[in-house]
Amino acid sequence: MGDIAAIILAAGKGTRMKSDLVKVMHVLGGRPMVDWPVEAARDAGAARIVLVTGHQADTVREHFAEAGDITFALQEEQLGTGHAVACAREALHGFSGRILILCGDVPLIRPETLQKMMECHASRQAVVTVLTAHRDNPYGYGRVVKGYGGRILGIVEEKDATEVEREITEINSGIYCVEASFLFDAVASLRSDNAQGEYYLTDIIRIATDRGLPCFSFPVDEPEEVMGVNDRVQLAAAATIIRKKVNEELMLAGVTIIDPATAYIEKGVAVGRDTVIYPNVHVSGATVIGSGCLLEPSVVIRGCRIGNGVTIKAGSIMTDARIDEEVTIGPMAHLRPETELRAHVKIGNFVETKKIVMGEGSKASHLTYLGDATIGRDVNIGCGTITCNYDGVRKHRTVIEDNVFVGSDVQLVAPVTVGRNSLVAAGTTVTTDVPHDSLAIARVPQVNKEGWRLKKK
């Protein structure tokens, strides 16, 4: 299809968001809204992407600092969408192919639709193709004005439209495919004599038709794909649409979601079949969940790898953890980064872990903090055990070898090692290494002073 570049308009403030944050950086489906059109352009085959920034340009640039295919064009003053495109001229100097224009606030567009629009554009040898939609309620969008035989004549903005034009239900999505040779010439000749005093990109249609150049509209099948996000009501509506699509894909692939309206699973998360997800579960980042897992209500998972047959009970939170098969977690457990749990481990209620490896079959069933520790296989960690890993300056490791039994209310003052097969008695503060096969006990002997209470009285 030849060379494709994309211009993405993201300079506007987004006044209707009533926010200190620029509109396109508002989070939608777990990432800044502008990520969505950028990804769509990329997946549609745009080898070069120019992002037009203005408001909080540095914030937007910083977000894309790692992206090698993006260049930035600065629009210092927001004089309209046409002016924004003109600002991208320099960045595309010498480019002679086809340019996709997308809006940073039209995030639901799919790459397949962009590709179809470009194919249509090519086969009709069009100079401009505008992506449109038929909406029952076209309020707020530019209307597509057509003449006899459905020939597109121009686009008129809500604020400039006559009463008759406002009745038109075909709307401008703000997404276009334009020949580079025409585009920059056309935007250079725009005027701002309209209701908003802006240089409207939409006027390039009229310029093309005036010159007798072929222009077409390409309507999408699903109008919601081109919904614009101008305020937070629309932001939430767009998020709901994304979520619905993600959930439907998972369900069709064999995942049970008890109530899809309250399952918050980000795009890109993988879930195996026969996994059951209860309400108010949040899963984000590069999380992979195996098959046959159970996620009880209000579980929060970020960036974890979870094996098959894992049960995560209500209210548990886990970040950047690796969980092998048949592990049981929670309720109300907190797994912090670099937690690695091997098969058949059990982590019970009110247990917090961080930077630990816990060997196969080991258990910490209640009220425990395990941080900076290496724990072997078949270890039992009693209720109330604490790895004292921090001396106020540095973190130290605790090592607990295979088959150790740690009684309740034990403090392990790191760095310390408990050798294999040993037993640490309840209430012990372990300050020196325990050899294998031993008993470690450190308790102040109990004294019973008989009649003491009576004497006091």
Residue 416 near residue 397 (C-beta atoms within 8 A): no
Which option in Ca ion, ligand UD1, none does residue 229 bind, with CB closer than 5 to 8 A by kind?
A: none
Q: Which two tokens stand for residue 439?
A: 């008993």
> Shortest approach of Ca ion to residue 34 CB, angstroms?
13
Residues 64-78 as b/e (b if ≥16 CB within 10 A, e otherwise) read beeeeebbbbebeeb
Binding site for Ca ion (CB under 5 A): 105, 228, 230
11 binds ligand UD1 (CB under 6 A): yes
How many Å apart are CA 14 and CA 20, to the nearest integer?
10
Count Cβ atoms within 10 A of the Cβ of residue 177 and give its class: 0-12 exposed, 13-18 middle, 19 or more buried.
Answer: buried
Give φ, ψ of 387 to 5 degrees: -85, 115
Nearer to Ca ion, 10 or 379 (CB): 10
10 scored as a contact of ligand UD1 (CB under 6 A): yes
The nearest distance, CB 270 to ligand UD1, in angstroms, is: 31
Within 211-230, which residues bind ligand UD1 (CB under 6 A)? 228, 230
Of 77-85, 162-170, 248-256, 449-457, the segment contacting ligand UD1 by CB under 6 A is 77-85
Residues 418-438: b if buried by 16+ CB within 10 A, e if exposed: bbebbbbbbbbebeeebeeee
Q: The tokens 């962009």 sit on which residue?
A: 114
| Among positions 157, 266, 296, 401, the unique one binding ligand UD1 when judged by CB under 6 A | 157
Nearest approach in angstroms of CB 394 to ligand UD1 is 48
- Of 8-16, 176-184, 241-249, 411-419, the window that binds ligand UD1 (rule: CB under 6 A) is 8-16
Considering only residues 275-294, where is the footprint of ligand UD1 by CB under 6 A? none
Among 270, 251, 177, smallest CA distance to 218 is for: 177
- Considering the complex, what minimum distance in angstroms separates the CB of residue 140 from ligand UD1? 7
Residue 171 token pair:
């709307």
Residue 366 annotated to the active site: yes
246 binds ligand UD1 (CB under 6 A): no
Binding flag, residue 183, ligand UD1 (CB under 6 A): no
Q: Which residue, 210, 213, 206, is CA-closest to 127?
A: 213
**Cα(124)–Cα(30) distance, integer angstroms:** 38
The verdict on 376 binding ligand UD1 (CB under 6 A) reads no
Q: From residue 123 to residue 142, what is the string marking binding to ligand UD1 with x (rule CB under 6 A)?
A: ------------------xx
State the catalytic residue, choosing from 63, 134, 366, 436.
Answer: 366
CB-based contacts of 342, cutoff 8 Å, min separation 6: 324, 327, 357, 358, 359, 360, 361, 362, 377
Q: Decide: is 78 part of the binding site for ligand UD1 (CB under 6 A).
A: yes
| Among 29, 32, 104, 348, contact with ligand UD1 (rule: CB under 6 A) | 104
Task: Note whether 312 binds ligand UD1 by CB under 6 A.
Answer: no
Beta strand spans in 33-142 (E) = 48-53, 70-74, 98-103, 128-134
Instruction: Name the helix (H) or strand (E) containing 264.
Output: strand 263-265
- Residues lying near ligand UD1 in the complex (CB under 6 A): 9-12, 52, 75, 78-81, 83-84, 103-106, 141-142, 155, 157, 171-174, 200-202, 228, 230
Catalytic residue set: 366
